[in-house]
Chains A and B, each alone.
Chain A
């Protein structure tokens, strides 16, 4: 149907016409009676009183408690290990591509220690720890290198998630922590739909960008678990099918229209680890020709995940391995989750720079997402390579030696009424710091927020860059759109990067 045809059909629907079969069906549906559902009166009045008497209401999650606890650790780990970061350390972490599944339903603090080994390029071993408080809302993840230096940090307090960010090269100091709400998953979904109008959610695998890898990750978890039921001969009445010894499940939702990525797990048998622990060994793969395989080991007694090793289909050796040790029932006060640290210690992965102490707190309350990062790499004075991660390059980009940088953003209206365009620009080199002077209101570090009209087609703004000696080695440009309701990031269609002559 064309857009006009759809509009006319909508008008006939609104007018209550019933001459066409579909409109007649719509009419009969609209006459269906809804059975009344009454809430418990005590709940209704109690909630009202609580809402109005609470200055800073907290989210209720009684029924979600057990899964929320698992989710907190998983989300924290995922964020620690899967967030797109163009730095070498980040790439290392990203390649690790780990999965984690451990569930905890008792009180106290769940303390998990894990060792993450990577084998590509420089072999690295990271030691991680996570803590999950019994009150469900607090968790913390730390990753340290073999010398004990903190290289990654994430902490969730209630609805707030803090994590270190690395959108600059790792040898530059971390300048901010991102603060994300609970809806980061939804954000990814909406962003995807805005960026790929007309495509069904979930996306086809080829469209997967880094910011939706959480979905993939969750589905893999589910398939791995479900496959165990098939392998163990456990009957199920859920939404997947056991085929022979395998469980097949389309990516994410079964109702997807597109031919989805299928994840297939194969039961390899049981095995005894060096410490005597017996585990199920499951290999998890995809139907892609070039993909990744994971060998997952689950404890036979409680099905918790003990070890994950990642392989590439064209790479016989392990890419990364994660070993997990879970210790339950630490004292409640074993770790305070009340405060984020006053500084982060960031190190250079090449080991050539001293440890840096990075003060935090400059971006409290700022809401930025790393999910949409446009990184400019500038290997020379004039040659520019515009690199858009996991997507198509913008339709035009050029830069010259001028110090006045103009960023033009083509928008895709209609936009939310309260939308604000958010632009953040970062630059660095090993020797220099760069100061960006914004011609309009300054936001955070080298950033700007501009209100835009719902029908606005484009925004142009300029940045004065004070370059003392040479152009920075790395410039990253982050552009997003915020609206008041859910703090979501909206579409950016084209970014033209030019400088004024």
Chain B
């Protein structure tokens, strides 16, 4: 489906909500996968996916086509839902629940849990700030274009590149350091 086709489909869905089903079919797996890789359990992923598509259906009448397209818009909604979920979970777990050993309930899913990466890369990514992890995951693992990222992250394209550059630089630094440590250990042996 081309951008033009999708644009037409979105326009139809704005007039007739039943057409939304086609957009749902097109994006469900990507959005669900995106969410599922960011939360720990299936039920939460399902809730957030449902909330994402419900919000999209509710607001589609006000959606206006932009460079990133409908998919990026969905990603942005999903991202907001995930962020909100993590924030609430982090701040609002009852003390009693934590004291009863339910601490894992608020542990954040790693961005790298569902990707086949080398051990070093996994460790390197895990050592990054969450914002760095996120932009790397969105760009390279979820495959979002820079145009889509501008919409999802709500920043300019220059800013996307700047953030990507910084994130990669930090990751590179970690990997270089790890490599040096490894070499030093090998020399000692």
The answer to whether B116 has its CB under 8 Å from any CB of chain A is yes
Known A63-B44, A183-B80, A190-B154; judge A57-B58 contact (CB<8 A): yes
* B residues in contact with A193, CB < 8 Å: 154-155
* B residues in contact with A71, CB < 8 Å: 88, 92
B46 and A32 within 8 A (CB): no
Per the CB 8 Å criterion, the residue count for chain B at the interface is 83
The answer to whether A350 has its CB under 8 Å from any CB of chain B is no
- CB A119 to nearest CB in B, in angstroms, measures 29
The answer to whether B73 has its CB under 8 Å from any CB of chain A is yes
* A residues in contact with B66, CB < 8 Å: 417
The answer to whether A19 has its CB under 8 Å from any CB of chain B is no
Interface residues of B in 167-181 (CB under 8 A from A): 168-169, 171-172, 175
The answer to whether A39 has its CB under 8 Å from any CB of chain B is yes
* B residues in contact with A396, CB < 8 Å: none
* A residues in contact with B160, CB < 8 Å: 10
- CB B145 to nearest CB in A, in angstroms, measures 9
* B residues in contact with A33, CB < 8 Å: 115-116
The answer to whether A59 has its CB under 8 Å from any CB of chain B is yes
* A residues in contact with B88, CB < 8 Å: 64, 67-68, 71
Of all chain A residues, which has the CB nearest B125?
A29
B80 and A13 within 8 A (CB): no
A6 and B96 within 8 A (CB): no
* A residues in contact with B107, CB < 8 Å: 237-238
A60 and B50 within 8 A (CB): yes
- CB A112 to nearest CB in B, in angstroms, measures 15
* B residues in contact with A236, CB < 8 Å: 98, 103
User: Which of B20, B96, B141, B175 is in CB contact (< 8 Å) with A51?
Assistant: B20
For the complex, would chain B's binding face be called helix, strand, loop or mixed by DSSP majority? helix
* A residues in contact with B90, CB < 8 Å: 222
Of all chain B residues, which has the CB nearest A220?
B91
A34 and B131 within 8 A (CB): no
- CB B87 to nearest CB in A, in angstroms, measures 7
Known A13-B164, A29-B140, A39-B29; judge A303-B94 contact (CB<8 A): yes
* A residues in contact with B94, CB < 8 Å: 66, 70, 103, 105, 303
B161 and A6 within 8 A (CB): yes
B158 and A234 within 8 A (CB): no
Known A35-B114, A57-B57, A417-B64; judge A62-B162 contact (CB<8 A): no
B115 and A35 within 8 A (CB): yes
The answer to whether A9 has its CB under 8 Å from any CB of chain B is yes
B43 and A485 within 8 A (CB): no
Known A37-B37, A39-B32, A228-B95; judge A414-B24 contact (CB<8 A): no
The CA of A329 and the CA of B152, in the complex, are separated in Å by 42
- CB A62 to nearest CB in B, in angstroms, measures 5
Of all chain B residues, which has the CB nearest A50?
B50
The answer to whether B1 has its CB under 8 Å from any CB of chain A is no
A485 and B116 within 8 A (CB): no
Known A34-B115, A52-B18; judge A62-B95 contact (CB<8 A): no
* B residues in contact with A7, CB < 8 Å: 158, 161
A30 and B140 within 8 A (CB): yes
The answer to whether A253 has its CB under 8 Å from any CB of chain B is yes
Stretch at the interface among A41-49, A142-150, A398-406: A41-49
3 tightest CB-CB pairs across the interface, nearest first?
A: A255-B129, A484-B62, A10-B161
| 28 contacting pairs across A/B (C-beta < 8 A) | A6-B158, A6-B161, A6-B162, A13-B164, A22-B172, A28-B121, A32-B117, A34-B116, A35-B114, A35-B116, A39-B46, A40-B46, A47-B50, A51-B20, A51-B24, A57-B57, A59-B54, A60-B50, A63-B44, A67-B93, A71-B88, A74-B92, A103-B96, A218-B91, A221-B91, A237-B107, A238-B103, A485-B59
> A residues bordering B, Cβ < 8 Å?
1, 3, 6-7, 9-10, 13-14, 21-22, 25-26, 28-30, 32-40, 43-44, 47-48, 51-52, 57-64, 66-68, 70-71, 74, 103, 105, 182-183, 185-186, 190, 193, 218-219, 221-222, 225, 228-229, 234, 236-238, 253, 255, 257, 298, 302-303, 414, 417-418, 484-486
**Extra pairs beyond A7-B161, A33-B116, A34-B142 (5, CB < 8 Å):** A22-B168, A29-B121, A37-B114, A51-B54, A228-B95
